[in-house]
Each structure stands twice: as structure tokens, then as C-alpha cells.
Structure 1
Amino acid sequence: MPKSGIDQDALIEMFANASAKQTAQLREAVSQATLRALQGREMSLKNIKGVLKSVTEAASAGALQNVTPKVDVEAMLNGALAGMDDALLKAVDANRVALERLAEQGVDLHDKQLKKALSDLEKMEDTLFETVRKSAAGTDMAKLAGPWAEVLGKMEQAGSMTGMQATATLEQMTGQMQTAIRETRAAGLKAAQTLAQSYAALVSGVLMGMSDALRQGGAAEEAPAAKAASKPRK
């Protein structure tokens, strides 16, 4: 099995033997294989590209070997692309959950790691299209150039589920984190106001204590003086 975690031989065999009525099964198989590979590694764009490249190459190799009568190669490749899109959709959802947890912990939008996570999420759809297009342009894939271009063009025009979900997640998380920041600032302001009130009361108490001490000190000084004044002069 390659470093991508994809069993390419199994996918090649599935595409090579698929009938015209098995495109739904191909989509599900690609989705599961892609998802399993993504689950076994760090969710970085580099690793995602590696997995998508392996899937695309396996689907292409299997489609070229398929000699089933009336097989629709374009439909097969569309199933492969849709399967990869299905898997990336779950990856986007996993990102959403992770980002929500960061937001709950008060992580700022300007945090370096968070900015990178949001940036990678925004690039997820482009990564899908660019990787598949580049992987399908190998020297042995000339016969599939037309079908791949057709299925990629249709999905790009309509928009992938990955892209739509990524956009929605970005909007949601940006709003959620901005709200969290405002709430944190509001809580900080309230705490500062409470502290200011407490501080004023503290100062007042200290001042009262100082006044009492001064009064007591003054009374103590006056007592000897009064006592001395009451003594008859010799």
C-alpha cells in the first residue's frame, strides 16, 4: 500500500470490472477509501493532495482497463470525483468541530495556527480540482483527458459540496469567533468596572481608617495637653 494509505490495486480492479450500473457503488467505494486514508494522517493540504492523487490515478488506470460493454467512462470518473468530494466534505465538518472547540476556548482570529486552519479550509475546493486535474494529466491518461475535463468542468460550474460547506463554515466560524471576542471584551470591561467600584470602596475604607486613626491620634495628643493645662501653676 502506498504512503497515501490508498489501496490502489483494489480501486483499479473495481473500476476495471465495474458495469454501467455500478457508478453509485464506485462513488461509495472511493468515498470510503479516501476517508480512511485521510483519517490515518494529519489533516494538512499536503496530505490531502497525496490521497487525492492516488485515488485519481487508480480510478483512471481502472477506467482505462475496463472493457465492459456500454460502460460509461465519464459516469465512472464522475463517481470517482463525487466520492472524493464526499470524503472531503467530512473533512470540512471535522475542521468545523475543531474550530468550534478553539472558539469556545477563546482563541483569537489572529492566532497563527487558527489563521492557517481557516486558510487551508478556504483552499479545500481548489485543492480538490487542481490535484485531480494535474493527476489526470499523466502521460498514460491521454484517452481520459476529455472525460475528466467534462466531469471537472461540470462540478466546478455547479460548485462542489466541499466548497459550499467550507464557505459556510468559514462564515459561521468567523462570526462565532468575533462574537466570542466581543463577549470576552464585554466581560473584561464588566470586570474592570467591578474592580473600579471595589477599588473606590477600598480607597474609601482606607480613607475612613486613616481618618479614624487621625482622630484617635489627635485625641491622644489633646489628653496630655489638657491634663497639663489643668495643673495649677507654681
Structure 2
Amino acid sequence: MLKSGIDQDALIEMFSTTSARQTAQLRDAVHTATLKALQGREMSLKNIRSVLKSVTEAASAGTAGRGLPEVDAEAMLGSALAGMDDALLKAVEAHQVALSSLAGQGVGLQDKQLKKALGDLEQLEDTMFGAVRKAADAAGGTLSGPWEQALSHFKQDGSQAGAHAQATVNGVTAQLEKMQTAMRDTRAAGLKAAQALAQSYTALVSGVLMGMSDALRQGGSAGSPPPPTAAPAAPAAKSARRKAT
């Protein structure tokens, strides 16, 4: 049966027949099936929950009917958790590449899609634990104890996908903040340069204007004719008296 892109029948068969000692094979099988299902759909939290639910249900169904001791059942379910985490780690790495590419093209932290992607990554670990726990609780029966122990141990060790998701969020956020700071510094430097140029330009214009004024004054003095000289008054008066006598 195909559910959420998962061949549950194949996984159930794997958990029904594989030895509890072959946890590495179970882990690889879960990793491959989970990753294949994730690759065939949009990487949203809703789709991730759906895929993890299907894998958890298959692991529960395959393990339930075997009558294994709790310790063996826990080991098998733990391998299922590890396989799902391995697949999610690959999904996070794909997110990292895509987000770094967007950041390099100048997309800012205020971009709606970018903010949503970063928010989804921050919720990835909680989404994984929530989806698995919900599906495990639904299985109930003899698997309640093994699932509880497997989840508890897995949380103690920590999710690789969750840790890498948080590191990706921090790294991309820092990258974007650094780029924004650089852009602000560039704009500030450009403004200072423009202001300096404006100040130099006005000073230059003032200097040119002063030079033009000086040239005009000097040119006017050199080209004007000398003022007329008045005749002496005394000789003219003597000539007038002679004519009268």
C-alpha cells in the first residue's frame, strides 16, 4: 500500500522479517523510503508530518506481531527513528543550499517566503517528534513502552537533522544580516562621498566666481580712457581782461 509516497507494505515486511540485530539495514531502508517520499513533494511541514506518520505506522505494524522482547522492539523502533532523521538531514542540507542561494541574490530577511522557510526549519525537530509520537500513541498495545523508550533515548542523543536545521537558520540569518550591514555601510560611504563632492564643487564654483570678478575689475581699469584734465583757471581770466581794455 502506498501512503504519502511510502510503500508501507515493503516497510512492514522489512520490520516483520529482519532480525533485531540488523538495525543498520532497517535504518538504511527507512532512510531510503523516507527520502524518496520527501523528494516527490513540496518540502512543507504538513508533508513532512504525513511522511513520518506513514513510516511510523509501518514500523509499528511490522514490529507489533513479532512478539519480541521490549529491548529488541525498542532497538528496531530506534533504527526507524534514526532512518527518518537521516532523511530529514538530507532535506535540511537541500534547504541550506537553496537559502544560501537566495541570500546570495540579495533576498532580505523581510521576504515572506524566506521567513517562512527559516521558520519551518526551526520547527523541524519538534515536527518530527510530534508526528512520530502521535502515530506511536495510535499504535498502542505492546509497543507503547518500546516507542516511549526509543523516543526518550533519541531525544537524549539529539536529532542530527534538528541540530543542522538550527545551525542552518543561524548561518543564513547571520549571512543576511552581514549583507544588509555591508549594504548600509556602502550607502553611507556613498552619501559621504557625495557630500564631500558637493562641498568641493561649491568651493570650486566660489573660487571660479571670485576669479572672474577679479578679472572683470582688472579688465575694466585697463580699458577705460583717462579722465579729462581741466584747464587752469588763472590764465583764462587774464586773457579776458586784456580784451576789455
Query: TM-score over 0.5 for the alignment?
Result: yes
Q: Which runs of 5+ in 1 are unaligned?
A: none
2:161 is equivalent to residue 162 of structure 1: yes
Equivalence for 2:113: 113
State the Cα distance separating 1:71 from its structure 2 match: 9.0
Q: 1:180-219 CA deviation, whole Å, 9 max, x = no partner?
A: 2111111111222222233334445666676788889x68
TM-score (norm 1): 0.83
Equivalence for 1:76: 76
Q: 1:128-155 CA deviation, whole Å, 9 max, x = no partner?
A: 11100001122x5422111101100111
Equivalence for 2:6: 6
Q: Is the 8 A contact 1:125 1:160 kept in 2?
A: yes
Amino acid corresponding to residue 198 of structure 1 in structure 2: L
- Number of corresponding residues: 229
Note closer, same or farther for the CA distance 1:71–1:164 as it changes in structure 2 (3 Å cut).
Answer: closer
Q: Is the 8 A contact 1:108 1:177 kept in 2?
A: yes
Amino acid corresponding to residue 152 of structure 1 in structure 2: L
Equivalence for 2:125: 125
Helix, strand or coil: the match of 1:136? helix
Q: Is the 8 A contact 1:18 1:68 kept in 2?
A: no
Amino acid corresponding to residue 142 of structure 2 in structure 1: K
Equivalence for 2:15: 15
Q: 1:98-155 CA deviation, whole Å, 9 max, x = no partner?
A: 22222222332233222222211111111111100001122x5422111101100111
Q: Is the 8 A contact 2:92 2:161 kept in 1?
A: yes
Equivalent residue runs for 1:8-157 within 5 Å: 8-66=8-66, 72-138=72-138, 140-157=139-156
TM-score (norm 2): 0.79
Helix, strand or coil: the match of 2:32? helix
Equivalence for 2:243: none
Q: Which has the larger radius of gyration?
A: 2
Q: After TM superposition, what 4+ stretches of structure 1 lie above 4 angstroms from structure 2?
A: 67-71, 201-216
Equivalence for 1:198: 197
Amino acid corresponding to residue 108 of structure 2 in structure 1: D
Aligned partners of 2:2 and 2:167: how far apart in 1? 34
Aligned partners of 2:62 and 2:41: how far apart in 1? 26
Q: 1:69-92 CA deviation, whole Å, 9 max, x = no partner?
A: 999211110100000011111112
Percent identity (aligned): 52
Amino acid corresponding to residue 162 of structure 1 in structure 2: A
When the two chains are superposed, the root-mean-square deviation of aligned CA atoms in Å is: 3.1
Aligned partners of 1:61 and 1:188: how far apart in 2? 62
Amino acid corresponding to residue 149 of structure 1 in structure 2: E
